[in-house]
Structure 1
Amino acid sequence: MTRKIWSRLSHGHDRERKAARAWAAKHAQDMDAWGNGVDPVLWREGKEFAESLADLARPRMEALAAAGVHLGGAGGMELLYLLTRVVRPALALETGVAAGWSTAAMLAAMRVNGAGRLMSSDFPFFRLANPERFIGYVVPNDLKSRWTLRIKGDRRNLEDFLSPDTMVDLVHYDSDKTRHGREFFIRRVRSHLTGRHVLVMDDIQDNLVFREYAERQPLFRVFAYEGKYIGVTGSGLRAVERR
């Protein structure tokens, strides 16, 4: 938390953030057009799941909001659903669960695939009372059999998850958005990525880490989403687009 506060107060961070947003905007493409281009049937399937989950969770989320509890929105569920269906990961890793929208999308796609497990890393919202109860709040119970959740923060959770022989096919990064946090994650996970992996990183407009990583990969994509940007890259992305 101290690192995050210091980063946000830094003038250098402001300059980097402007450069990152400009780069993301330059490379951004329409997510809906891309998803339909990959597989229109699976893209529609993902959108329908996102809509159904939002409808199912709405009463509970509205009740929380009325009580002053805000867990964040549902970002890019259809993208993660599609990638999970296409990549068919034996093992996926995500950081930053919050309410669990993205978690639910990946788990739902795994259920349709009939294979796969998801390891999720989070850290409770310190500003809430008993915050652990809100992690994965919208994830339906019937999806949780493929899910392993750790809530001690990325540094400790990744040590639990990433044994020397652990290999990951799909990664969704949505936790510490600082340069330091992203760089640590990439260093820690790099040797555990399979030759067909796809990596998704949220809020890439905050700094240039995704750009620096993605421009060394065979292919990358950037999508504008609700005023922010999502980056996708990895050695398996070309295969996703060739299906």
Structure 2
Amino acid sequence: MDKPTRSLDRQRPATAAGNDSDEPTLPGGLAGNGLQAILTLLGKAVRHPDRALLRLLLRGRLARTSLSEERARLLRWVSAQFGVDAQALHAEYVTSGFRREFAARRRELWEYTGPQRLGTSDPLSHEALYLVVRAARPRVVIETGVLYGAASAHILAALARNGEGELFSIDLPHQPEELPHDFLVPHELRERWTLIVGDSRRELPTLVDRLGAIDMFHHDSLHTFEHMTWEFETVFPRLNPDGVLSSHDVRIAHSVREIFRRNAFQVFCERQGLRWSTYHNSGLAALADAPVATPEGGS
């Protein structure tokens, strides 16, 4: 029998009444198609021109290097930082049953929501999380920002492969008509997961105090400079000496006025003297000694 995600605020919402299978069942509603997705994106661009500008800016920044180039740099960094064969870990991920199941769940999510609701999540950021968790072998991981569980699923899959570790995730509640936070997380991975539904401003300090020591923190909630800095400052004193700091959306500006401002992840890591690097739209930093990365990810 599937073990439900533990939640400190509420039980995990079911994907559909009476559904006991591992495959999620979409609630009733309009299933998106290509034309609908395009019209939705155009409508959002008209209503929110600032957001459309920021997305275009992000695409331009990410287009400077190819995914294959970014992946190669990521693998070199993981190998050097943790003393592992990152190529072998990547091959393990690519051929895993988890990756196939996740791809199927994501396609189903896309059909229901359209691409506009998937945010800026990208495959390389998911690979990076899997590789780092496999290499660093953290026992206690905290994540802020869940949405439908893409990052959560990859962290949990790596923890399961390690045979140890727990993930504690914090996210705001979804609207009643939305899919649940765990939509992309396979049932068999949820036994290592505690989902806390609430605002990280309230929940994160309490969780950090309760856990005491943390091995890895992943930020993917509100991406303003101030909020990112606050989250990093909240967890950093509790990170173990060989801990890992991770962040998504390190190449995107949260507002037009922040376009020419450096990302909070980079600023925080440099202030703390951490070994950090960026890959596509994600950032990784390690507290343990390793060759120092140069700005924008050159190690």
TM-score range, shorter chain: 0.7 to 0.9
Q: Which residue of 2 aligns with 1:230?
A: 282
Q: SS of the counterpart of 1:162?
A: helix
Q: Which residue of 2 aligns with 1:122?
A: 171
Q: Which residue of 2 aligns with 1:168?
A: 214
Match of 2:70 among 17, 31, 36: 31
Q: Which residue of 2 aligns with 1:221?
A: 277
TM-score by length of 2: 0.63
How much has 1:234 moved relative to structure 2? 2.6
CA distance in 2, matches of 1:189, 1:198: 11
Q: Which residue of 1 aligns with 2:193?
A: 147
Change (3 A) 1:170 1:31: farther
CA distance in 2, matches of 1:88, 1:121: 21
CA distance in 2, matches of 1:87, 1:196: 8
CA distance in 1, matches of 2:203, 2:218: 15
Q: Which residue of 1 aligns with 2:256?
A: none
Q: SS of the counterpart of 1:77?
A: helix
Q: Deviations over 1:198-224 (max 9, x none)?
A: 111111122431121122324111112
Q: Which residue of 1 aligns with 2:26?
A: none
How much has 1:170 moved relative to structure 2? 1.2
Pairing 1:70–2:109 present: no
CA distance in 2, matches of 1:165, 1:93: 10
Q: Which has the higher contact order (CA 8 A, sep 6+)?
A: 1
Structure 2 counterpart of 1:163, one-letter code: D
In structure 2, runs of 5+ residues without a counterpart are: 1-48, 80-84, 254-261, 294-299
Pairing 1:210–2:265 present: yes
CA distance in 2, matches of 1:63, 1:29: 27
How much has 1:35 moved relative to structure 2? 4.0
Q: Deviations over 1:131-167 (max 9, x none)?
A: 4x52121101110000011110111221331126611
Match of 2:145 among 93, 96, 114: 96
How much has 1:114 moved relative to structure 2? 0.6
In structure 1, runs of 5+ residues without a counterpart are: 1-7
CA distance in 2, matches of 1:53, 1:124: 25
CA distance in 2, matches of 1:92, 1:237: 20
Structure 1 counterpart of 2:138, one-letter code: P
Number of equivalences: 214
Pairing 1:61–2:147 present: no
Structure 2 counterpart of 1:234, one-letter code: A
How much has 1:74 moved relative to structure 2? 4.4
Structure 1 counterpart of 2:172, one-letter code: F
Change (3 A) 1:69 1:117: same
CA distance in 2, matches of 1:237, 1:70: 39
Question: Once superposed, what is the RMSD of the aligned Cα atoms?
Answer: 3.2
Q: Which runs of 4+ in 1 moved over 4 A?
A: none
